[in-house]
Structure 1
Amino acid sequence: MSALVLVERVGSTAVLRLNRAERHNSLVPELLEALLAALERMEADPDVRAVVLSHAGRSFSTGGDVGAFAAFVPQSAELAQYAQRLLGLLNAAILRLAALRCPVIAAVEGWLTGGSLGLVLACDMTVLGEGTRIAPYYTVVGFSPDGGWTAMLPRLIGVARSRAIQLENATLTASQAVALGLATHLAPAREAEAMALSLAAGLKDKVPGSVAHTRALLRWDADALAAGLERERVAFVAQVTSAEAAAGMRRFLGNGRTG
């Protein structure tokens, strides 16, 4: 089986690519475990001066794999256990990205939905390809927000905007996301990774101590972030085991969605 996270070195930059393209890089425990292992290797390698978080295939990630949730008996203890495990790993990956010793730049194309947003929000900078679309999907599928949609997004774009986007299930274009402050850079379609690599290469010429202090002073508060993500995990597990979530998953998958 192919590795779920591909690692490539480009000079002093490490490129980590989510590699579950046949499922739109939707999140499952095995992928998140592979991402955490790769991040631990980057943390321990002093030759890595920056990390680019990218993806194989057309889309960065469509969040949690709804098909994987739907494979369990609705409202069962096994479904709750799976959700606990998945969100525990997702939250750990978000916290690891946010605390990594070197800068992390996300390169995003295609769709970015659901809990995968948190992996992007945890990065220092984010480059969106022109065709990128961002949407929550929680109120459509019947899930509760996870991946920082309540714990991180309001700090970047405000509570009112965050609430409206999620309740309406609004889809943001790449240019809208940059204008709101959800992302930092806009690239031509299919050039997000190239721009992210260029930004990473520029960082290695900056004074290391200044970079480190800048990132430390602007870093997410680890305790507050962990607490917010934990609140999301508890609410998600409660909602995913409800009858309306079971109906929502059937409806979502019945409409031909695969992520």
Structure 2
Amino acid sequence: MTEFETLKFAQSGPVTSIVLNRPDAANGMNDAMTRELAVAASLCDTEATKVVTLTGAGRFFCAGGDLKSMAAAPDPGVFVKGIADDLHRAMSTFARMDAVLITAVNGVAAGAGFSLGVSGDLVLAAESASFTMAYTKAGLSPDGGASYVLPRLVGLRRAQDLMITNRVLKASEALAWGLVTEVVPDAELPQWLEALAAKVAAGARGSNSAVKKLLLSTYSAGYEAQLEHEARHIAGNASSADGKEGIAAFLGKRAPEFS
């Protein structure tokens, strides 16, 4: 098992758990964390993994980039580019892997923490969680896919508001804006995360993978191209072992037993 300095990483059957683990630094992203997150993401991109959960240790989900480490770097631009590249490699893997990514935002999600938190295929948020871009407050600009994801989730005007004014959203507001899937009581977040992961893990991996790929391609594919993508994915799933089991279970009025 790979050992990490800034993350907790555990695999249990088809579910892999990642915890951002720099609680004394508000889980701020330094070069070690983003480098390790890219490695962790690659370890999740396997046939054995059906679900990946991602949350933070302590009171914060992630306060964004570690500004202290940036300020101490001999060349901040080179240093930050390395952090961004590693973070983006991790997020690209999470987006394109077959496994479903469930993020559980347990506290403040700021900057790249905001970007990472809302990038899950499913997003849980504790009632006390909050979301803010915060980049321009520090004279910086968004990364972590925020300029791609936010306009698609909340629309251009709200994305501009979040990025330029650094508006802070409460969890309930994030839910109303479509940034999160569910808001749950703080004390119940771990149980909700475990239950949701188990529910998704009991499903068909190929079906969930197809959903991810179809939703990702819908941003760039034309209508006829997307129809062809849908036809090929549903045909592939229909001929798979899980597809045959799912159809048989549905017709037999029983619960399916997916591989």
> Which band: TM-score by shorter chain?
0.7 to 0.9
Cα contact 2:4–2:36 (8 A) shared by 1: no
Partner in structure 1 of residue 150 of structure 2: 153
> Greater shift after overlay, 112-121 or 2-11?
2-11
**For 2:190, which of 193, 199, 205 is the aligned residue?**
193
Return the alpha-carbon distance in structure 1 between the equivalents of residues 128 and 9 of structure 2: 25
Cα contact 2:42–2:90 (8 A) shared by 1: no
Q: How does 1:59-74 map to 2 (within 5 A)?
A: 59-72=60-73
Return the alpha-carbon distance in structure 1 between the equivalents of residues 219 and 9 of structure 2: 26
Give the partner amino acid of 2:124.
Answer: V
Greater RCO, CA 8 A, separation 6+: 1
Partner in structure 1 of residue 226 of structure 2: none
Cα contact 2:130–2:170 (8 A) shared by 1: yes
Q: Deviations over 1:160-205 (max 9, x none)?
A: 0111122221100001101111111111114323212211111122
Change (3 A) 1:87 1:79: same
Return the alpha-carbon distance in structure 2 between the equivalents of residues 53 and 79 of structure 1: 28
Return the alpha-carbon distance in structure 2 between the equivalents of residues 81 and 154 of structure 1: 28
Give the partner amino acid of 2:202.
Answer: D
TM-score relative to the length of structure 1:
0.78
Partner in structure 2 of residue 92 of structure 1: 89
Give the partner amino acid of 1:70.
Answer: A
Structure index of larger Rg: 2
Identity %: 28
> Greater shift after overlay, 115-124 or 31-40?
115-124
Q: How does 1:42-81 map to 2 (within 5 A)?
A: 42-44=44-46, 46-72=47-73, 78-81=75-78
Where do 5+ consecutive residues of structure 1 fail to align? 225-259
Return the alpha-carbon distance in structure 1 between the equivalents of residues 219 and 194 of structure 2: 27
Shift, 1:96, TM fit? 1.2
Return the alpha-carbon distance in structure 2 between the equivalents of residues 115 and 57 of structure 1: 17
Q: Does residue 16 of structure 1 match 2:13?
A: no
Superposition misfits of 4+ residues, deviation over 4 angstroms: 220-224
TM-score relative to the length of structure 2:
0.78
Change (3 A) 1:223 1:66: farther
- Describe the SS at the equivalent of 1:191: helix
Shift, 1:91, TM fit? 1.3
Partner in structure 2 of residue 254 of structure 1: none
Q: How does 1:218-257 map to 2 (within 5 A)?
A: 218-219=215-216
- Matched residue pairs, number? 219
> Greater shift after overlay, 150-159 or 198-207?
198-207
Return the alpha-carbon distance in structure 2 between the equivalents of residues 21 and 211 of structure 1: 32
Return the alpha-carbon distance in structure 2 between the equivalents of residues 2 and 14 of structure 1: 14
Cα contact 1:108–1:193 (8 A) shared by 2: no
Where do 5+ consecutive residues of structure 2 fail to align? 222-259
Cα contact 1:13–1:197 (8 A) shared by 2: no
Cα contact 2:52–2:102 (8 A) shared by 1: yes
- Describe the SS at the equivalent of 1:150: helix
Aligned CA-pair RMSD: 2.1
Give the partner amino acid of 1:112.
Answer: A
